[in-house]
Amino acid sequence: HMREVCMNPTRPCMLAFMMNGELLHPDHGYPVRLLMPGYIGGRMIKWLTKISVTEGEGQNYYHLYDNRVFPKHITSKDEATKHKIWTDPMYTINDRNINSAIWAPAHCEKVSLSAGKYTVGGYAYNGAGRPIHRVEVTLNDGHTWMPATIHRFEKPSEFGMVYCWVHWTVDVPVDLLKGCGEFAVRAWDDSQNCQPERPSWNLMGMMNNPWFRVKVHDVPGGSAIWFEHPTRVEPNLGHAWDKDRLYLTADGQLASPGWQERLKAEYSEAFKPLPLQEQPLDGEEYNDKARFLRSENVKKAGAAKASTMEISAEARSGDGTVNNVGIKMSGNVMCEHCSQRFDTEAAKKLHFKFIHDPNRHQED
C-alpha cells in the first residue's frame, strides 16, 4: 500500500488481532490482519507476519495479477500483457464502489397474498469513506422509484468519513409485488453517484455493481408468491435458515438455483464482449437480449420495427464516395464552382447568389 494512504489521518489504517472481543479466527487472518477502511477485502492482508518499507511498489504476484478492472476489449491475460496494463494504476482496485443488495425477501421465500404489506430490506455500502445518501426500490424497471428508510450504525468521523454498511427497509403492498414480475434496488452517495442499471463485463469479473434484481413468481395452486434471487447464498439447503418459509419442490429442494444461474447462457449472451467485426450496428440487438432477462419473453419474429425516415429523391445527395458527400449529383445544370447539379438554370443562379457570389453579404 502507498505510504500516503497508510499515513493519511482521515483513513485510520490499523492492525487487527481481535474481532468482536475474541482473537481473530484463522479464516479472518489470525494472528494479525491489516485493515484499510473503505478498501476491498483483497487489499486487507491476512496472516500478517511482517511489514516491509520499500521505495517502489511491491511485486507480489497477487498484488499485480489480481484485483483489477480492465476495459471490455481486454479479453485474455495475453491481451492485458500486450497492452502493458498489469502495473498501470488506472486499473487497480483499492476502494470499494457503491453497491446495494436485497436480503428480504430471501431467495425462494414465499409470502401469502393475504399478508397486506411486506417489508423489503437489505444493505448498502460505499468506499473511500463516502456515505450512502439514499436507497431506492423500483417495481417497474426503473420508471419510478420508492425511497427506502436508511438505518445507520455509525456517526461520521471528525473528517466526515463513514465506513460501515447501512441497512435499509421499505414497506411494499404484497399485491404490487405480485404484479411487478421483478423488483430492484439501487443506492446513491454524496456525489450523486448511483449504481448502473446493467453489468459491465470485465476479464476478472470484478466490481460489478448493477441494480440488484429479484424476480417474483406465483406459487402454483396456492395464494402466495415466491421470490428468486440472482444466485444462492448458502451452499446447500442444509445451510438454509427458516426452511418453513421457503418454497420448495416436491422432493424438498429449492425451486431455483437463482435466476442468473438459471439463465446463465442468456446472461452471457447479453453482456459478453464481441470482436469489433461481430458487434451489431443496431444497439437494440443488445437491448433485446437484456430485456429478455427481465421478461423472459422472446421477441416475436417479424415484429414491427420502428418507422424510418424517408428521404425524397430531390433531397438526396452524393454518389457513395467520400469526395461527393453532400453534393447533389442529379440534374442537367452543373455549378462550375462546386460541381453541384440543378434541374434549372434559375436554381443554379440562386445557388451562386447565396453560396459563391463574392458580393453575397451586400444589400441588393
Query: Closest by alpha carbon to 108, among 266, 263, 219?
Result: 219
| Residue 78: burial class (beta carbons within 10 Å; 0-12, 13-18, 19+) | exposed
Question: What pLDDT score was predicted for residue 258?
Answer: 94
Return the SS3 of 41.
Answer: helix
pLDDT tens-digit map of 249-282: 888 888 999 999 999 999 999 999 988 777 777 7
Task: Spell out, as residue ranges, where the chain has pLDDT lower than 50.
Answer: 301
For 136, the grid coordinates are: 431506492
Q: What is the DSSP string of 275-324?
A: -GGGS-SSTHHHHHHHHHHHH--PPPTTPPPPP-----GGG----SSSTT
Peptide bond into 105 cis (omega under 30): yes
Question: What pLDDT score was predicted for residue 2?
Answer: 78
Consecutive H or E run containing 124: strand 117-125
User: How far is residue 336 CA from its own chain's centroid?
Assistant: 56
Q: What is the C-alpha to C-alpha distance for residues 32 and 26, in angstroms, rounded to an integer? A: 9
Q: What is the C-alpha to C-alpha distance for residues 291 and 267, in angstroms, rounded to an integer? A: 10
Q: Are the CB atoms for 4 and 57 separated by under 8 Å?
A: no
| Helix 284-295 vs helix 264-271: crossing angle, to nearest 10 | 150
Query: Closest by alpha carbon to 293, among 228, 206, 340?
Result: 228
Q: What is the C-alpha to C-alpha distance for residues 266 and 305, in angstroms, rounded to an integer? A: 23
Question: What pLDDT score was predicted for residue 281?
Answer: 76
Question: What pLDDT score was predicted for residue 337?
Answer: 85
Q: Are the CB atoms for 62 and 196 separated by under 8 Å?
A: no
Query: Closest by alpha carbon to 126, among 152, 144, 149?
Result: 152
Is the four-CA dihedral 27, 31, 32, 37 of positive or negative sign?
A: positive
| Residue 105: burial class (beta carbons within 10 Å; 0-12, 13-18, 19+) | buried
| Residue 349: burial class (beta carbons within 10 Å; 0-12, 13-18, 19+) | middle
Consecutive H or E run containing 62: helix 61-64
